[in-house]
Structure 1
Amino acid sequence: MSEVQILESVQIFLQRQHGHFIHGQHLEVDRQRLALINPATEQTVAHIAIGNQQDVDEAVESAQDAFINAWADTSPYERGQKLNKLADLIEFYAEELAQLETLTTGKLIHLARHLEVAQSVVFLRYFAGWATKVHGQTMQPSLPSMNGEKYTAYTIRQPVGVVAGIVPWNFSLMIGCWKIGSALTTGCTIVLKPSEFTTLSLLRVAELAIEAGIPKGVINVVTGTGETGQYLINSKHVKKISFTGSVPTGIAIAKQAMTNDLTRVSLELGGKNAAAILADANLDEILPNLLQATFVHQGQVCAAPERFFVHQSKYDEFTQKITAALQHFKIGSPLDESTMFGPLSNKAHFEKIKHFLDIAQQNDQIICGGRVIQGAGYFVEPTLLKVRDVDDPLFIEETFGPVVDVIPFESDEELISMMNHSRFGLTASIWSNDLSKALRLIPQIEAGSVWVNMHTFLDPAVPFGGVKASGLGREFSDAFIEDYTELKSVMIRY
């Protein structure tokens, strides 16, 4: 047992009377509060405020004021410098932030350290580098000259204004930093609404932003339930909504945004992601990487694969080897550095996964796993299911957890047909040493991202987003700039 000791600074932070973070300071709220539950123990670790209309209005007004009077007067170079300073501070307080994430999400401590916190730093620094590279173009119009006059034209990109960032519970810190980086780099300000299950790390980051020299009001955090988020997206000053979460909620937000004078919206939603294991794949070589990509954070990753398509010739070998591997996963406390598989992040999600496992049990679909682990905490076994065809309900609905399905295929045509038989299109992967075949399959796959011999992991230089019901817009690379700026055309006659 190698249980991590909770830092004194973390213990002190947990004991605070947590409120919202508005205009550079904590706003204490003395009314109904929500308990934050440690999913590994089911014990309350802290309480957060439930934001009402007044709280949200105050946060948005603070962001609007900062957009007009503070951040607008900050040069692109300074924006990048301040984002880099924030990244430095996140790196300095890395263990504190990692422990807050583990205590509220059940994320393994080494994953919180080396992925969540470390990649938050990487992404913020990447965004900071774009701050001085948001630019337009010059062009020569073809208007006819009647009396010797000439024309020239150019475009400029201007920040849209206040951004509403709606953040999910699985990677609250990292996804929150994606939204902060995108907004601040382009000159926007932001009001973040974290999930009610995982709030503390972003409240801490908002504090660190002030220490980094980011003006008051540029980053605000309001906490609470879905109703709090509804107040935020309906605010008249919000000009852009960036939402990461479930498909039903994303569609509802998009509909509302269209009625709110066509508020800009980008959606990074869920998926029933596919992994295709071709006939030539060496299972002993690919299995460690495939298992890591699939069951990282107990499968609670929007990009993780949930549907395995295995060539008929490899099907029996695949199911045998993955079963043997899953049976050796060490399940336990996420604060134990030797643990390989922790709890699900909250009770509501735990109940959802239990429902899927009950259906699989009733239909005799469980190849391995499938059990709820008795005792404290929201623990289930990593599970592999067999499905009869692509219309099986468990093959259609996203579980967003450690429940994956496997089905055989024989031809490339059958593979593509089955992979695309989904309303989702976020990610997919091909596992093969036949690069020629992989390159021919990639254009046929309906997904925003396709990996070869890897899956799930993201890089800030590579755009990310979904097709079909999996989303709208792209994160990262330089693609984010278009979503956070308005393109203005200027034409001059002289």
Structure 2
Amino acid sequence: MHIDVERYLNRFNVLPEVRTAVSQIPKMFINGDFTDGQATGTKAVMEPSTGQQLTEVLLGSTADVDAAVASARATFDSGIWSRMAPNERQNILLKLADLMERDADILAQIETIDNGKAIGPCKDFDVLGSADLFRFMAGWATKIEGATKSLSVPGDFFSYTLREPIGVVAAIAPWNWPLNMSAWKIAAPLAAGCTIVLKTAAMTPLSMTYFARLTQEAGFPPGVLNIVTGEGSVIGDYLARHPGVDKVSFTGSTEVGKSVALAAASHLVPATLELGGKSPMVVFEDTNLDDLAEATRWSIYFNAGQNCSAGSRLYLHRSIFDDGVKAIKDKIAALSVCAGLDPACDVGPVISQGAQQSIGRYLEMGKRDGDVIFGGDLPEGPGYFVNPTLIALDDNTHPLVQEEIFGPVLVAVPFDEEEEVIAMANDNAYGLGASVWSENGARAQRVSRQLQSGSVWINCHDVIDSATAFGGVKQSGYGKDLGREQLEAVLITKTITMQL
């Protein structure tokens, strides 16, 4: 661990369990045991607030994926989890949620050190939100049911359907929400009776290592959850096309998602893909601008803009354009940009130097072609920080409006008419999230129905709950996480017909 990281941890008095977790090379978790497996080496894990090395991660091999899939397959076929009494499976998942809540401070500190996000929201949303999801999905374990069928064919038959777990689920999680997105990938399959092989992001492997210990304490049978670490281009692709996998669930970039889809299709395995986004916020002249400004604070500026559904395209009615950008400017001017462990932190660093530099190129574009209302620069000093930025543009075709920047950069574009803004909002490759802002309920409903998006929020943005299905259209992917709808993707329907 670099001396600057050591000083950072000492400054904020991290918990002893956290210091242990972040100082060790995280092991893989296969068949209930932590192991180095047959790793081909290690890769540095950087701490974003200091820009220095934190630890290393094992570069797992295809042999490790084979071992993890074999463990998941043997456990699934044994029935120890898939045929466990539903209320027993429910109770184990509830125990896991209790343990996550008990260790919420530990998990939040690990996640913040590994990813850089602000510690307060990390505990509330990432950790406790994940615990809530496990509780929500645990309840479904006892509510999976089939149906009887009335047949019209000649004869006397009794026909019914069963809903059964699909089998081994390959879950590939992103670096921007290491714990939370892993929970999104695995909670529903676990409730249904599936077993899991989870690949964590190489940049952020630490929180799921600690989580694995909690599954042991909760009473998970060995092989129910298996975790492999390493490069996506090596073991992620291999896992997605593995013949021992029955379902693939991926969250990440659209470019990588397309390769995952092809890998899964190579052996006819269904995939759920939650990919990129460039979510519009359509704001009419009768909007409460204070509410709008607060929503941007928790959407595009929370997690330093590293959120696929963040409201990153702001369409403001021309009559309120100046007032709207002023309200948002005042909001973001009050945000504190600092190290994630600092209790005062509102906006932490982005994940890496490469991400910081990529965002910086967009900022230069904004200075050249638009009007920088606030921010627009990279602060000096250590760490991968980007100042919260608001840029005004009057060109819907500009790359700042069309491309996913994945940083704390909001682009404001004026519009005049309802039909005009609907066309502008839909003129984009992505379709993950969108919001409509108006006190006119009929207009808000009318516009919401015309937006090409998997989720639409009215007078709010990024309001996500365990009960609400989440997923996109167009280049944002297909399939749903969360809600009852996610269970449909991890259950198969078997029809049984008996002649009486």
TM-score under structure 1 length normalisation: 0.96
By how many angstroms is 1:50 displaced? Answer: 0.5
Instruction: Give the CA deviation at 1:152.
Output: 2.4
Answer yes or no: is the 8 Å Cα contact 2:95–2:218 preserved in 1. Answer: yes
Deviates more, 1:397-406 or 1:288-297: 288-297
**Kept in 2: contact 1:4–1:337 (CA 8 A):** no
Q: Are residues 1:296 and 2:302 paired?
A: yes
Which residue matches 2:103?
93
What is the CA distance between 1:48 and its match in structure 2?
Answer: 1.2
Equivalent in the alignment of 1:426 = 432
What's the CA shift string for 1:341-363, capped at 9, x where partnerless?
A: 11112222222211211222233
The answer as to 2:221 corresponding to 1:215 is: yes
Which residue of structure 1 lines up, in the alignment, with residue 3 of structure 2? Answer: none
Please, which of 35, 52, 63 is the counterpart of residue 61 of structure 2? 52
1:138 aligns with 2:138: no
Q: Deviations over 1:307-362 (max 9, x none)?
A: 00000100011122322332222211111111221111222222221121122223
Q: Is the 8 A contact 2:280 2:425 kept in 1?
A: yes
Pair 1:16 & 2:24 matched: yes
Q: Which amino acid aligns with 1:450?
A: V
Q: 1:248 aligns with which of 220, 236, 255?
A: 255
C-alpha distance in 2, partners of 1:84/1:325?
39
Q: Say if 2:115 is the partner of 1:109.
A: no
| Aligned pair partner of 1:229 in 231, 236, 248 | 236
Q: 1:382 to 1:17 in 2, by over 3 A?
A: closer
SS in structure 1 at match of 2:313: strand
Q: Is the Cα–Cα contact under 8 Å of residues 25 and 207 in structure 1 kept in the other structure?
A: no
In structure 1, stretches of 5+ residues that fail to align are none
Deviations 1:236-278 (A, max 9, x none): 1111000011111111111221122x11100111110000111
Q: Which residue identity is paired with 1:242?
A: S
Determine whether 1:314 maps to 2:323.
Answer: no
Q: Which residue of 1 aligns with 2:52?
A: 43
C-alpha displacement at 1:196, in angstroms? Answer: 0.8
Amino acid in the other structure paired with 1:371:
D
Deviations 1:399-456 (A, max 9, x none): 1211111111111101111111111111101112111211111111111111011111
1:85 is paired with a residue of what secondary structure? helix
Q: Is the 8 A contact 2:185 2:481 kept in 1?
A: no
Question: Do the aligned residues in 2 keep the contact of 1:3 with 1:335 (CA within 8 Å)?
Answer: no
Which of residues 144, 150, 158 is equivalent to 1:152?
158
Structure 2 residue 163 is matched with structure 1 residue 128: no
RMSD, aligned α-carbons: 1.6
> Of 414, 417, 423, which residue of structure 2 is paired with 1:411?
417
Whether 1:272 and 2:239 are equivalent positions in the alignment is no
Instruction: Give the Cα separation in 2 of the matches to 1:128 and 1:259.
Output: 32
Alignment of 1:303-382 (within 5 A): 303-382=309-388
Amino acid at match of 1:210: Q
- Residue identity matched to 1:366: V
Quick one: distance in 2 between partners of 1:209 and 1:442?
41
SS of the equivalent of 2:457 reads strand
Structure 1 contact 105–346 (Cα < 8 Å) conserved: no
Counterpart pick for 1:483 among 478, 483, 489: 489
- Which residue identity does 2:253 align to in structure 1? S
Partner Cα distance (1:193, 1:65) in 2: 19
Deviations 1:176-213 (A, max 9, x none): 11222111111110011011111111111111111111
Partner in structure 2 of residue 72 of structure 1: 82
Contact 2:117 2:303 in 1 (8 A): yes
Matched-pair contact (CA < 8 Å) for 1:293–1:457: no
Distance 1:272 1:446 in 2: 12
Classify the secondary structure of the residue corresponding to 2:344: coil
1:259 to 266, 269, 273: 266
Find the residue that maps to 1:478 and give its secondary structure.
helix
Matched residues in 1 for 2:279 and 2:130: separation? 24
The whole-number CA distance in structure 1 between the counterparts of 2:315 and 2:129 is: 30
Once residues 25 and 340 of structure 2 are traced to their aligned partners in structure 1, the CA distance between those partners, rounded to angstroms, is 26
Q: Give how far 1:367 is off.
A: 2.5
Shift in Å, 1:99: 0.6
Residues 284-293 or 367-376, more deviating: 284-293
Whole-Å separation in 1 of the counterparts to 2:439 and 2:322: 20
1:365 CA displacement = 4.0
Return the letter of the residue paired with 2:19: Q
Quick one: which of 427, 439, 444 aligns to 2:445? 439
Greater CA drift, 316-325 or 474-483: 316-325
